[in-house]
Structure 1
Amino acid sequence: MELRHLRYFVAVADERNFTRAAERLNIAQPPLSRQIQQLEEELGVVLIEKGSRPVRLTEAGKFFHAHAQELLEQAANLKAMTQRVGKIDRKFAIGFVASTLYGLLPEIVRRFRARYQTLDISFHELATIEQIAALKDGRIDVGFGRLRIEDHAIRRILLREEPLIVALPVGHRLAGVDGPVRLADVSQEALLVYPKQPRPSYADQVLAIFRERMLLPQKVIEVRELQIAIGLVGAGQGVAIVPKSLQGMIRTDVVYKALDEPGAVSPIMFSVRQMDRSPELTNMLEVIYEIYEEMGIAHTRHRL
């Protein structure tokens, strides 16, 4: 059994039609049918119900399809990693969501770059879900995101849970409240969430916090990015729930207040390809934990 057999079978199973699968694979239909027949003979089981239109998989076929997809993804990951490791010019691509730039990511990269000066480091602003795709096709080597997206081809390490705060216009009624602001009071305001696309995103994470507490924001306004949300807060168009590190974004028209919700946090996730154990990634994790320990930030050490 070869990888081409897996590709051929997955194409037929996905398209549910031999003609469309042959077009997708850029081969003629008769050779494709023979390859599937040879695969069934080698396995000794029937994978596709005979004469079914559209194509229907047997129970064995459904099982084989799921695992064949996984093996093909692993092969693609292995190819991307091997090509990266084999390059003479060492390149290291970092994907990040915009909000991480207001936290420790700049210091992490500065220290990492100073320590490993032979690396050619590049940066790519990508939503968390976009980072997953970019890791799988080799466009980036590590991602810093905020969503707990599960993908068997990607390993996700929780670096820490960052508290969330509320951004308010200067002069807002909640800005003068003594102590933390209640989420129930925030729900009475127009809520600015970001990014609008792609989804799922940090916007869904924020809205889930309200749903978990049986709260419904009076009005939800979706905007394209973080900077637009904060700008509209300053213009008095609503309020926004943001990571605590955004307090460093100094604006004369915005006030930041703590939330009276201990469970209102946003995870910072370190994402890599499942099989990637390259020294660059291990070294970056060491730099991250070194900085956390210097700053007294609670964390659990993980190894690749």
Structure 2
Amino acid sequence: MHSKDIKYFDALVKFQNYTRVAEEFSVKQPTITQAVKRLEKEFGSQLVVQDWSHQKTVITRAGLLLSKNGAMIEHYLSLAHHEIDNTKKSQIRLGLPPIIGTYYFPQVAGQLLSTGLLKQTNIVESGSDELLKKLKKGDIDIALLGSIRPLHFNDIDSVHLGSRPFVIIVSPENPLSNRDSVSFSELIAERFINLTDKYVHPIAFKAYYEYADIDPNVVYYSPDISWAKSLVKANIGIAFIEKDVINNSDGVKILEITDDLPVRFNISVATRKGYILNESEKHFMEIIEQMRVS
């Protein structure tokens, strides 16, 4: 089965006109006709009929059923091409989000370097949500992912490596700096420096402020953690952040959050369900699973 045949047929269902589909893909009309014939032979059913009396193309019930499943068929055909093409290469295609890449991956980078696996690793940096999409699509084969709860997806296999708490950070000049903990309901009058949707923090932040029934005053969304910490240090606002990204040199005060919510920064290593690891990837996974998140 040709993956393009499915694309052509989906367009035919949409436009119900062979000429229009041919123009859409910049091909000749017989190309579309032959694609439909191949699909009809593949599935042993007539997918399209021509209503000459009304000068229109009619999609049969079998055709509509194929169209309904076409996106899934196309996805798995594309995925098979991605995976098989990758067997010709020696690269390990890894998705790595910014926080995990900066604060946790270095724990195992030395061992990966000594075994030669780091040199084989092609790292794609992005937020966890985007990396999850790339993993499902087949653009990467392994991903370290952050989430506010352990991962549970039908099409993903994952190993939970651990979780860390979220905290509030404030400037030493903020009156809250005299405290060691705070509840979200006490922050109603504060200005927040938030991280962008590139991070999982906004999802966790929303869970906390909805639990506290407050409407937070977010004055700035930072795409960079160091920048966010600098703004907090300058007392521009406070921030909701994963605890391990804070160190003594940042010049901010950490406040534990007292609200009892099952929301933490979870780290998992994930692959597509059914993906067959090669020997290098198996060794890579064994090393990654030694990462300490506690």
Query: Could you say which TM-score interval applies, normalised by the shorter chain?
Result: 0.7 to 0.9
Residue 164 of structure 2 corresponds to residue 162 of structure 1: yes
How many angstroms apart in 2 are the aligned matches of 1:165 and 1:117?
A: 35
Report the more deviating stretch, 156-165 or 54-63. 54-63
Mapping 1:1-304, distance limit 5 Å:
2-13=2-13, 18-33=18-33, 35-36=35-36, 39-40=39-40, 43=43, 61=63, 63-87=65-89, 90-117=90-117, 119-135=119-135, 140-147=140-147, 155-178=157-180, 180-195=181-196, 202-248=201-247, 250-252=249-251, 254-262=252-260, 263-274=262-273, 275-292=275-292, 297=294
RMSD over aligned CA atoms reads 3.7
Secondary structure at the counterpart of residue 143 of structure 1: strand
Deviations 1:92-122 (CA, angstroms, capped at 9, x unpaired): 2432221114532211222222234584234
Q: Compared with structure 1, are the counterparts of its residues 175 and 221 closer, same or farther at alpha carbon in structure 2 (3 Å cutoff)? A: same
Q: Compared with structure 1, are the counterparts of its residues 20 and 126 closer, same or farther at alpha carbon in structure 2 (3 Å cutoff)? A: farther
Q: Compared with structure 1, are the counterparts of its residues 59 and 176 closer, same or farther at alpha carbon in structure 2 (3 Å cutoff)? A: farther
> Shift in Å at residue 167 of structure 1?
1.5
Q: TM-score scaled to structure 2, two decimals?
A: 0.78
How many angstroms apart in 1 are the aligned matches of 2:11 and 2:115?
A: 46
> Shift in Å at residue 186 of structure 1?
2.9
> Shift in Å at residue 134 of structure 1?
4.0
How many angstroms apart in 1 are the aligned matches of 2:109 and 2:22?
A: 47
How many angstroms apart in 2 are the aligned matches of 1:181 and 1:53?
A: 71
> Shift in Å at residue 194 of structure 1?
1.7
How many angstroms apart in 1 are the aligned matches of 2:50 and 2:158?
A: 42
Given that 2:40 and 2:46 are in contact with CA atoms closer than 8 Å, whether structure 1 keeps it comes out as yes
How many angstroms apart in 2 are the aligned matches of 1:291 and 1:40?
A: 51
Secondary structure at the counterpart of residue 111 of structure 1: helix
How many angstroms apart in 2 are the aligned matches of 1:137 and 1:219?
A: 34
Q: Amino acid of the residue matched to residue 271 of structure 1?
A: A
> Shift in Å at residue 15 of structure 1?
6.3
> Shift in Å at residue 251 of structure 1?
1.1
Aligned residues: 288
Secondary structure at the counterpart of residue 235 of structure 2: coil
Q: Compared with structure 1, are the counterparts of its residues 250 and 29 closer, same or farther at alpha carbon in structure 2 (3 Å cutoff)? A: farther
Given that 2:163 and 2:265 are in contact with CA atoms closer than 8 Å, whether structure 1 keeps it comes out as yes
Report the more deviating stretch, 70-79 or 30-39. 30-39
Q: TM-score scaled to structure 1, two decimals?
A: 0.75
Over the matched positions of the two proteins, sequence identity in percent amounts to: 18
Q: Compared with structure 1, are the counterparts of its residues 110 and 42 closer, same or farther at alpha carbon in structure 2 (3 Å cutoff)? A: closer
Q: Compared with structure 1, are the counterparts of its residues 284 and 61 closer, same or farther at alpha carbon in structure 2 (3 Å cutoff)? A: same
Given that 2:96 and 2:126 are in contact with CA atoms closer than 8 Å, whether structure 1 keeps it comes out as yes
Secondary structure at the counterpart of residue 129 of structure 2: helix
Given that 1:168 and 1:234 are in contact with CA atoms closer than 8 Å, whether structure 2 keeps it comes out as yes
Given that 1:92 and 1:119 are in contact with CA atoms closer than 8 Å, whether structure 2 keeps it comes out as no
How many angstroms apart in 2 are the aligned matches of 1:54 and 1:235?
A: 68
How many angstroms apart in 1 are the aligned matches of 2:145 and 2:48?
A: 40
> Shift in Å at residue 164 of structure 1?
0.7
How many angstroms apart in 2 are the aligned matches of 1:18 and 1:94?
A: 41
Secondary structure at the counterpart of residue 290 of structure 1: coil
Between structure 1 and structure 2, the one with the greater Rg is 2
How many angstroms apart in 1 are the aligned matches of 2:56 and 2:179?
A: 64
Q: Compared with structure 1, are the counterparts of its residues 266 and 290 closer, same or farther at alpha carbon in structure 2 (3 Å cutoff)? A: closer
Q: Amino acid of the residue matched to residue 183 of structure 1?
A: F
The answer for unaligned runs of 5 or more in structure 1 is 298-304
Q: Compared with structure 1, are the counterparts of its residues 133 and 47 closer, same or farther at alpha carbon in structure 2 (3 Å cutoff)? A: same
Given that 1:11 and 1:25 are in contact with CA atoms closer than 8 Å, whether structure 2 keeps it comes out as no
Q: Amino acid of the residue matched to residue 258 of structure 1?
A: E
Secondary structure at the counterpart of residue 290 of structure 2: helix
Given that 1:132 and 1:154 are in contact with CA atoms closer than 8 Å, whether structure 2 keeps it comes out as no
